[in-house]
Structure 1
């Protein structure tokens, strides 16, 4: 059992003062409205021809992604640098730009050494055109295999020298810090589907320790390119319901048969409350508690313990929680694992909400993009319904909120994320009043 120790009380409070979202159901201006409407974001893949693959659906961005539309035309150097970024990196940077536009500190009004960056991201698959010239040059005519000796002597020279810098997982944090002159704490968490939640937790602790005043924190990911999508088809339990993509991913449902990939970026301005007050920032919600752990056997009790630790730091009980925002993505084993842990803490009284049915599994962005839904729910007083859930599976003892948006009646929401290897993280957010 691996649970983080009790944290000493900190007088500093962390609040969300801005957000930037790029998702399969829209960007920041339309994201919330489409969540309330239940707009489907999982569709037939458009980025390339997936017809030879078992799963041919995914949650691509609502509009074909063009990074230049997010970067101000006055930032000519910034726009020029986009060519040296893979799509995942561009998503992260553009999400950060949206967050800064939404209510970030104006340039020159914050000490750059007190401005931090925390990203959840993972290693990015290469785009085929970056390697195709070298590969074609070194394929042997007889076996149609790569001649590795020729690759080393001749093929490498056909790859752009900046190739690796397009794909390293720390590049979103790197480019974002350059764009916005952030010279404070800077880190990237690469723990798969839990990465952006862990990044949020690290920013929270740094704010509590007075190591910074303001963070851009969140995550980004896109695996919807031929190389990554094909590889994931080999080992990820994807749904095979290609003919009905809008209803294919079914969290906690008795007929769930797998998940689908998605792509997204979600960034928050996370700020010390007193700092936010001094600059007159609007506040969406407060980050009241955080905990993490490792549930190797995925039985449930350890994840339940992580949830309790996060509630303890927030100083609340399960009865104070309006809803649990889950990580469920339609995977038979993992949905049941999460449901057992939720049931142990909350029983079946507290409603649960799952976003992956609507947008797919957005990988390292999952924690942040899903948390954005709960932050907006607390802000606006409505919780959207979980889509694609018709009948709760017997191995998922939870009450799933479906249908029309319901009123938010309690001041707290709990966000859970985990990976198939057992990493777990839980955040508790509070309605700000």
Structure 2
């Protein structure tokens, strides 16, 4: 058996998103055209130029996290607790629990970033360290009075590897473990490495996920200075407009998406149901931001999967709604697929989840393959000649072909493509 012939399938997933928590809630929202981007409620955004984001509703980690593990919640930032709950739900959905699998044959690949510090954690220390004339920080005061105000577990709350660390403890996972921090491409990178681990038989089960929570006053104050955010505060549901002529920027979101990726034979032996098969992941860098590098990565993913563009039902695009980003992505997609393959851009429904975005967007196509229908893209009303692709809008359409390609990228030109397939069963 060759490395590429070892098949990897999705046997469970957990999701927390601005439009639904749990796979079926997400699917219902996709079919209904639910928009999850709204005016920010987690704090007062009135000082910001862009006052909209996608927030996870009714997130109560104390009620959601396993009872045996709730004592650790004080050491979890929102990004971390979203990821841990997503891991729990994915494992439960796959029918796996602590002790039901060989812990040395199970690993984790997680996508995350450094969490935004809560104001109460560093605020008192900062206040104690300001010069009397407010001209700047006094480093002597910081050492004598500021540092003692910092909570002892401050750093552990926010490190990007914390979701994976907590999940390994919770489930006694002893196999390969790693955290990817490449922004919007991190989820695809986590999936790529997990796929390689399964194919070289270093594990039978891999937990693959991503979480991020940037709907935070510090993060958004900073991003509003340089990021291209939509300022359609009066119409948040229609603000993010993928590949649309009138797009004016994106919006941040928060949430988690976690898959259980499993060797097919192992899944069959335990009678697990299968959502989709992961065929290939490819990644690279488009240094000139022309789309040609992205096209090269897409072709590499198709070649690894052993398929042609004609076998792809739809392309699941990142579709940020930014001027340059959408133009870049559309050119890469068009170079491979032209205008014949429908493009689905679900991000406009829930905002950009950063490290969690690629996997949450992919989850939308996993559900489309499972149910046999492709939901439409929201807020694409006026095609942009500079984005020469066929964006699927209107009513849900039947899924006609067995494969889906997912694209994602960062503003530095890092890009990735994922190929998934409708399961045999």
Cα distance in 2, alignment partners of residues 273 and 296 from structure 1:
37
2:59 to 60, 65, 68: 65
Q: Does 1:41 align with 2:32?
A: no
Query: Contact conserved, 2:188 with 2:281, CA < 8 A, in 1?
Result: no
- Rounded to whole Å, the distance in 1 between the matches of 2:186 and 2:95 is 23
Query: Which of residues 47, 55, 66 is equivalent to 2:50?
Result: 55
CA distance in 1, matches of 2:423, 2:98: 26
Q: State the match for 1:19 in structure 2.
A: 13
Match of 1:354 among 341, 345, 358: 345
Partner in structure 2 of residue 229 of structure 1: 220
Aligned length: 422
Select which of 16, 22, 27 maps to 1:32: 27
Moved over 6 A (4+): none
Runs (5+) with no aligned partner, structure 2 = none
1:137 positional shift: 1.6
- The 5 A counterparts of 1:331-346 are 331-346=322-337
Q: 1:283 aligns with which of 257, 264, 274?
A: 274
Q: 2:111 aligns with which of 110, 120, 127?
A: 120
Query: Distance between the aligned counterparts of 1:123 and 1:420, measured in 2?
Result: 18
Q: State the Cα RMSD in Å.
A: 1.0
Write out aligned runs for 1:363-382 (5 A).
Answer: 363-382=354-373
Deviation at 1:237, TM superposition (A): 0.6
TM-score by length of 1: 0.96
What's the offset of the Cα at 1:9?
Answer: 4.6
How big is the shift at 1:89? Answer: 0.4
Q: Which residue of 2 aligns with 1:93?
A: 84
- Distance in 2, Cα, partners of 1:128 & 1:319: 51
1:313 has 2:304 as partner: yes
Name the SS of the counterpart of 2:35 in structure 1. Answer: coil
Paired position in structure 2 for 1:5 = none
Shift of residue 344, structure 1, vs aligned partner:
0.6
Q: Does 1:424 align with 2:415?
A: yes
- The separation in 2 between residues aligned to 1:382 and 1:402, in whole angstroms, is 13
**Change over 3 Å in CA distance of 1:104–1:232 after alignment to 2:** farther
Provide the rounded CA distance (Å) in 2 between the counterparts of 1:237 and 1:309. 30
Helix, strand or coil at the partner of 2:14: strand
1:182 and 2:173 equivalent? yes
Q: TM-score of the superposition, structure 2-length normalised?
A: 0.98
